[in-house]
Amino acid sequence: MVLDIVILAAGQGTRMVSDLPKVLHPLAGRPLLGHVIDSARTLAPRSLNVVIGHGATQVRSALPDAPVAWVLQQQQLGTGHAVQQVLPLLARDGTTLILYGDVPLVRESTLRELVAVANRGTLALLTVELGDPSGYGRILRDAEGRVAAIVEHKDASAEQRAVREVNTGIMALPNARLHEWLPTLGNRNAQGEYYLTDIIAMAAGTGVGVQPLPAADEQEVAGVNNREQLAVLERAWQARKARELLLAGVTLRDPARFDLRGHLRHGRDVTIDVNVIVEGEVELGDRVTIGANCVLRNTRIGAGATVHPNSLLEHADVGPGCSVGPFARLRPGTRMAEGARIGNFVETKQATIGAHSKINHLSYVGDAELGEHVNVGAGTITCNYDGVNKHRTTIGDGAFIGSNTSLVAPVEVGRDATVGAGSVVTSAVPDDALAIARGRQRNISGWQRPRKTSGR
Ligand code: UD1
Ligand code: CA
């Protein structure tokens, strides 16, 4: 049976107290709506329609590559009205699944169950029992215990409000029935809205029937209305991901102090210490160790490499057996070959560092290419920027750069060349040569410092 999906995302989200539309607030670094679209796509639907209204332009441009049909709901006249906007795009055959753009953790297995039920011609309704059901639509059952209707909180009697079984909003039903029922919705209710939930009574009153399916847990159907709820769902999502990683063989020193905002591919026996943030696409080889408080963004780290605490790596490629940090900053385009070392308070950018080369302390190396077994002394700076252009520094295999050297690019240091400490290198250093480019030391004996006329 073919599947169409409708995601409702036109609502305002006033309680976020934000200029950003609610569905664009990030969970694990991705907009809420992005999570819902991802889940929807796993079902391989024939069509994926997203109803937008509040902040529609912003929502569309935040997810430019989403393979969805954007459907504008000019005025937010209710959930039923929202689905009515999609009706002209829906074929008469098949099944439609309705999701909310602000309910990000719904499980693929749950959605598949709903769709399977609806494929048999029934309306499948995802429900949940809540300790505090206030605000939700209550499930009303008939004398035989069959679902008969949904009454919205604002329309419910005191007796109905005591019902704790509620509508999650997520449902699936045959397209033919949507085409039949949606045009008949009215808005004579407490909120003057076209309620999608009125179709429950219609289904119950015909042979179609309603099959309620209880959600696996409260989190998977929890919506985001304010930032507190968003924070709670963020932790729930992170706990899910941490558990998956632990069971896949990654050591997380504390699963509650690990954040994944993207995808992590990993080898065997990877160890991650506390407060590590992984963003974008990150790959860690076998036996990689990440120290506390590191941020890894779109970075690849080879087998056996160690990143020591408090390091920030962005778009970097760290070879096997390398050592990085503590307190290192690897900016985009840093490529370290096998066994290279970058130590504390070192910043690199667009830099290729050959195998077993070392930049161990207090340096800036940018727009540079270093050969193998190069030793860069403490405080070395590549002066790559003249205020307008960036220039390159090239250092040959086996070169030794003395501490506190300024390499004024464009400049080349040859193979096995040596640069004396404190040099300002402005022209090429030949292979095997020693370059010393600093003021020569002069000693003036018996030097008298100026004296103050009074006191010391
Ligand atoms: C809705 C359900 C309620 C259910 C609750 C679960 C109805 C009438 N009520 O209530 O039974 O318990 O969700 O959270 O369906 N939206 C639009 N356009 C609109 C109105 C809403 O796109 O005109 C979208 C919102 O962005 C949101 C979703 O639909 O993603 C639900 O809207 P919301 O206003 O939160 O519905 P509730 O009143 O909470
Ligand atoms: Ca809601």
**What distance in Å separates the CA atoms of residue 124 and residue 136, rounded to the nearest whole number?**
18
CATH number of 227-435: 2.160.10.10
Rounded average pLDDT over 192-217: 96
Task: Give the Å distance between the CA of 2 and the centre of ligand 1.
Answer: 25
Q: Chain-centre distance of CA 89, in angstroms?
A: 32
266 contacts 248 by C-beta, under 8 angstroms: yes
User: pLDDT tens across 351-382, in order?
Assistant: 999 999 999 999 999 999 999 999 999 999 99
- CA nearest ligand 1 atom 8, residue: 195
User: For residue 222, how many other CB atoms are within 10 A of its CB?
Assistant: 21
The residues with which 277 forms a beta bridge, in sequence order, are 259, 295
Q: Which ligand is nearest to the CA of 134?
A: 1
Q: Which CATH class is domain 3-221?
A: alpha beta
- CA nearest ligand 1 atom 17, residue: 10
Mutate to test the pocket of ligand 1, among 59, 79, 128 (most ligand atoms within 8 A of CB): 79
Rounded average pLDDT over 297-319: 99
Tell me the residue ranges of DSSP E strands in 152-275. 165-174, 210-214, 251-252, 258-266, 271-272
Determine the atom of ligand 1 nearest the C-alpha atom of 11.
Answer: 26
Q: Does position 455 have pLDDT exceeding 70, yes or no?
A: no
Determine the atom of ligand 1 nearest the C-alpha atom of 100.
Answer: 30
Q: Give 276's pLDDT tier (boundaries 50, 70, 90).
A: very high
Task: Give the Å distance between the CA of 354 and the centre of ligand 2.
Answer: 55
Q: Dihedral of the CA atoms 278, 279, 285, 290 (nearest 10)?
A: -30
DSSP string computed for 389-414: -B--EEE-TT-EEPTT-EEESSEEE-
Q: Which ligand is nearest to the CA of 9?
A: 1
pLDDT of residue 454: 79
Question: Residue 160 has what DSSP assignment?
Answer: H
Task: Give the Å distance between the CA of 82 and the centre of ligand 1.
Answer: 9
Average pLDDT, the chain: 97
Percent with pLDDT over 70 in the chain: 100
Q: Which ligand is nearest to the CA of 135?
A: 1
| Contact residues of ligand 1, CB 6 A cut-off | 8-11, 51, 73, 76-79, 81-82, 100-102, 136-137, 150, 152, 166-169, 195-197, 223
Determine the atom of ligand 1 nearest the C-alpha atom of 52.
Answer: 22
**What distance in Å separates the CA atoms of residue 428 and residue 399, rounded to the nearest whole number?**
13
Please give the angle made by the CA atoms of 441, 442 and 447, to the nearest 5 degrees: 135
pLDDT of residue 1: 87
Which of 128, 156, 125, 149 shows the shortest CA–CA distance to 198? 149
Enumerate the domain spans of the chain: 3-221, 227-435
Determine the atom of ligand 1 nearest the C-alpha atom of 82.
Answer: 18
The amino acid present at 198, given as its one-letter code, is: D
Q: Does position 456 have pLDDT exceeding 70, yes or no?
A: no
- CA nearest ligand 1 atom 3, residue: 137
User: pLDDT tens across 94-113, in order?
Assistant: 999 999 999 999 999 999 99
User: pLDDT tens across 140-187, in order?
Assistant: 999 999 999 999 999 999 999 999 999 999 999 999 999 999 999 999
Task: Give the Å distance between the CA of 134 and the centre of ligand 2.
Answer: 11
Residues annotated as part of the active site: 361
Q: Which ligand is nearest to the CA of 215?
A: 1
Task: Give the Å distance between the CA of 169 and the centre of ligand 1.
Answer: 7
User: pLDDT tens across 181-191, in order?
Assistant: 999 999 999 99
Task: Give the Å distance between the CA of 116 and the centre of ligand 2.
Answer: 26
Question: Residue 106 has what DSSP assignment?
Answer: -
Determine the atom of ligand 1 nearest the C-alpha atom of 152.
Answer: 11
- CA nearest ligand 1 atom 11, residue: 137
pLDDT of residue 148: 98
- Segment among 33-37, 147-151, 358-362, 386-390 with least mean pLDDT: 386-390
